[in-house]
Structures are given as C-alpha cells and as structure tokens.
Amino acid sequence: MTQTLQRPGGTLSYDDPGGTGRLVVAAPGMGDMRQVYRHTIQEGVSRNLRIVTMDVRGVGNSSVDWPDYSDAAIGDDMLTLVRHLDSGPAILVGNSLTGASAVIASVQEPALVSGLVLIGPFARNVAMPAWQNFSFRFLLTPPWGKSAWIWYYKNQLYPGDRPPDHDEYVNRLKANLSEPGRYNAFLSLAFNSHAESGSKLDQVSCPVAVVMGTADPDFPDPVVEARELADVLNAEVVLIDGAGHYPQAQEPAAVADAIEAVADQLD
C-alpha cells in the first residue's frame, strides 16, 4: 500500500512490502516513478530483501512545488525515510540522478546507510560533448519537451529486451507527467549538477555495487564509466549485457542479485 511521509516543503510517497528482511530503500531516476522497481521488488522477496520504493520530489505520488530539488535534498529524503521506517540502517539504491543522492546520504549519515547499489548512476558530473548537452536541453524544452521525453524514455533508454508491461508502464508515466506541476518539477531535476556527490566519492565507507547496462545510451561509454566510478568507490562492478538505463526493469533478477551481494557483505 502506498504511504506518505511529510517533509518540510511537501509530501513524499513510498511503498513498503513489509516483512523482516534486510531493509533496502530504492529511489528512481529523474522523471521516473517508484514503480520502475516493480519487478525487482518481487525478486527481492525470495532473497529476504525488504525493498521499500520511494518517489522523488515532484514525480509519482509525491507533491509538487518543492523549494529544493537538488541531489542533496533527495538524499536527505532517503535518510528521513530510513529513520521513519525505524528498522536499522538500509542499503540505498539509486538510479541515474539518485545515485548521486545515495552517495551524499551515505557520507552525511553513515550510521543509517549500510550499503549502496548505484544503477546507471550519475554520481559525478560526466563530460559530454557540447552538442549532446544542447540536444538534451532542446529535447526537454516546452511545449514539446514532455512528449519528447516520453518518446526517448520508451524507445531509447530500454535497448534490448523490454519488460512485458513496458508499454503499459510508459503510459502510466506519461499520465503522471501530465498532471499539473509535474513536468515543471521534472525540469527542476533534469539539469542538476552532481559535483557535490563527485566530491564525496572517496569518503564513502560502506560496501558498494555499481550496476551498469552495457548499452546504456546516457553515457559516452557506460562500461568505462562504471569501472572508473568503481575504482574510486572500491566497489564491485555488475555489467548487464545489452541492458539500458533501467536494468532494474529489464533484468530485475540481476539487480536483485547485486543488492543481495551487498547485503551478504554485511552479515
């Protein structure tokens, strides 16, 4: 059942399957909803993982018009949810932008974060060609931006095999971003700097897994980015062949395995 968490400036939504398994708090990337982990949750149950999924500010069932959409603010939301659940420290799972938030949270309050799983993470500012940065900004510009993002999400970010309910999920995402205020919230997230996270990478002290789809189109070379990031974090690298930016939806068993491997290091 969807639950809410009140925060200064708004309300967050989250789903908690309950149980006594190891606590995992998972956040989606920008413009995405907590249900992107829908198949990973099911895989987690058989691995004794209690995967709690949360919406980020402005998207899904969370409220809009927040005063702050920064990586650090979302990281603080993750920590607040861990405290609220009151089940000990959690493994934080971040995807794309929220990979940076998870890193910041783990350094801010290491006693609340037992491990990190970073999926297709923008955990630091990644150098992109100028034309690519311009194209991305142009793509998201209203009035065509919302439709362009949905097309890009549906057709480009899921190379290879797609989830059987992919079209249904994308339609739900489109409907969500069409609600008042949501696309403006998405734009507030879309151009975040990840410099703060990048400056804290060498301060992370918990076990980490970097999960990357080898066909992720959001990186000039996703395999190189995963390995370089893992070198800084002393992390395990999990490469998922042919997957894109959302392996938690495309290859949920492999992502659940990565979470379980981090959990095993804590026993």
Mean predicted confidence (pLDDT) in 241-248: 98
- pLDDT for the residue numbered 132: 81
Question: H/E element holding 13?
Answer: strand 10-15
Of 152, 145, 144, the residue nearest 170 (C-alpha):
152
How many domains, in total, are found in the chain? 1
Give percent above pLDDT 90 in the chain.
95
Domain holding 237, by residue range, is: 2-264
Which of 14-28, 128-142, 148-162 is predicted least confidently? 128-142
Helices 97-108 + 71-85 axis angle, to 10: 60
Of 70, 58, 68, 79, the residue nearest 12 (C-alpha):
58
Joined together, the tokens standing for residue 73 give 């603010």
In sequence order, what are the residues at sequence separation of 6 or more whose Cβ sits closer than 8 angstroms to the Cβ of residue 97?
A: 29, 30, 71, 74, 122, 189, 192, 194
Pairing between β-strand 2-7 and β-strand 10-15 as defined by DSSP bridges: antiparallel
Tens-place pLDDT, residues 138-154: 999 999 999 999 999 99
Q: Does residue 143 have a cis peptide bond before it, meaning omega lies within 30 degrees of 0? A: yes
Which of 132-141, 167-176, 178-187 is predicted least confidently? 132-141
- The CATH number that applies at residue 92 is 3.40.50.1820
- pLDDT for the residue numbered 134: 87
The single residue listed with the structure tokens 């998922």 is 240
**102: Cα separation from own chain's centroid:** 9
pTM for the full model? Answer: 0.97
Of 61, 86, 72, the residue nearest 10 (C-alpha):
61
- pLDDT for the residue numbered 128: 82
